[in-house]
Amino acid sequence: MALTSMVKVLEECRISPPAGSVSTTSLPLTFFDLIFLKIPPVQRLFFFEFNHPKTHFMTTILPNIKHSLSLALQPFYPLAGHITWPQESDIPEILYTDGDSICLTVAESDNDFYHLSGNHPRDANEFYPLVPNFEQIQSSDKLVPILALKITLFPDKGLCIGVTINHIAADGRTSNQFMKTWASISRLHGHGHNTSLPTELTQPLYDRTIINHPKEIEQIRLDILAKVRATKNASTFSAAPLVPVSAGSVRATFVMGRSDVIKLKQWILTRLHNEKQIPAQLHLSTFVVTCAYVWVCLVKARIGNKYVANVSETEDQKEYFAFAMDCRDQLSPPVPVTYFGNCLGFCMATSNRKDLIQEDGIATAAELLGKTIQIARDPATVWELMARRFSNIFSIDLQCVVSIAGSPKLNVYKTDFGWGKPNKVEVISIEGTGAISISEHTKEEGALEVGLVRNKKEMDAFSSLFLNHINSLPKM
């Protein structure tokens, strides 16, 4: 079946905040926003079980979804606006004008809902019909949309809410707060949400002056603007949209269960103790253990049989593991959790490949990741690390970088519109970056989900390593 025939569009509409509720407003982009100038939009799919026919959805559910979306956009009004760079301004900005709106597409699919919302390997291109796209805007001001939504009904089986959001405007915390606001208002059918919802869901903070850049960061910001300004009349800051991946790419989700985490922690501690390498304050969280295990499995899957043969050929090859850290509480003064926008610091652990593929590779990876997080948590080093990351980012071999999209702290599985929490959440945009996604598990407390897209050969190798490596670890 052709991809385009999987989904039938039922309706396309525009949703605005309530008329007259928000006046024309502009927000300048900060250093944290400018980092994402050329990063593709974040695309996420929420799959919900929904055992109702199409008539019930169209007459009862959809009107409530639209109404609650409009109410949710009132406090999060920048999402209905655009990113632009006025001729008279030195920096790009988010501009909201009264009446601005987002595109909401409503569709129907006869595809297998449970197949798409499973964990097993699936053709990565099967998901694209569920992803909303930004409309093309013809304007001399180069207006760039921020948010697009698509709701696809699988009659009598489920719903999929697709989200495409421009990372220039919002990080994971901000976009997640918006989704939970929309879901909560929907669950309450638009009644009493102003008094019953927590402040972080109803009162985003838009004060840009709360973030104070040191001089060295300000210079980096100016350098970024200078480079972008040179192409201001061309692509400006509109990242290329994601396109279907090459044939043969598959998407799968792997679960790091709580018992596996406990076993790995014990094994890592024992190995480090035997080598007398346990740091005074070893940071060995579930996140660290999972990332260490996945990092080693991914490197081995990528290089194939080389890791069991002569590793001297690549012993000096560097491998990198990169992830973002919310640094709202690391800045001085701390930035409230309600801050709207991007406020992410970037962490990167570096290792020689030979150290990762050796017998103690997972312990080595865990120690490196733990140290990286501890250093990044020091408020005194936040800006120094940011400056260092951007000074050498272009010298890194991106094929040797594993990066993360999402975070278990976002609690995406607590997004409830009134018909229960999602039974699956997929980050589609990792297909264009080679990243992996990490989130809390939909059911098991203390477990994590790891999503990735790879060619079938590499996915098969990773799957074998991930599922069997824990049981084959050398004895402690």
Residue 263: enclosing H or E segment and its boundaries?
Answer: helix 258-274
Terminal Cα distance for the chain, rounded = 51
Distance (Å, rounded) from C-alpha 392 to C-alpha 103? 38
> In sequence order, which residues have a C-beta less than 8 Å from that of residue 220 and are 6 or more positions away?
31, 386, 387, 390
Compute the Cα dihedral for 432, 436, 440, 441 and give only its sign. positive
> What is the rounded distance in angstroms from the CA atom of residue 277 to the CA atom of residue 255?
29
Nearest Cα neighbor of 149 from 107, 177, 89 is: 107
Chain position carrying tokens 């301004």? 89
Q: Which of 303, 275, 435 is nearest to 359 (CA)?
A: 275
Q: Are 149 and 162 in contact (CB under 8 A)?
A: yes
Asked if omega into 86 is within 30° of 0 (cis), the reply is: no
**Known active-site residue 416:** yes
Q: Catalytic residue at 397?
A: no
Among positive and negative, which fits the CA dihedral 193, 196, 59, 110? positive
Query: From CA 193, how far away is CA 184, in angstroms rounded?
Result: 8
The catalytic position among 416, 441, 460, 469 is: 416
CB of 350 within 8 A of CB of 320?
A: yes
Catalytic residue among 82, 100, 167, 360: 167
Could you list the active site residues?
167, 416
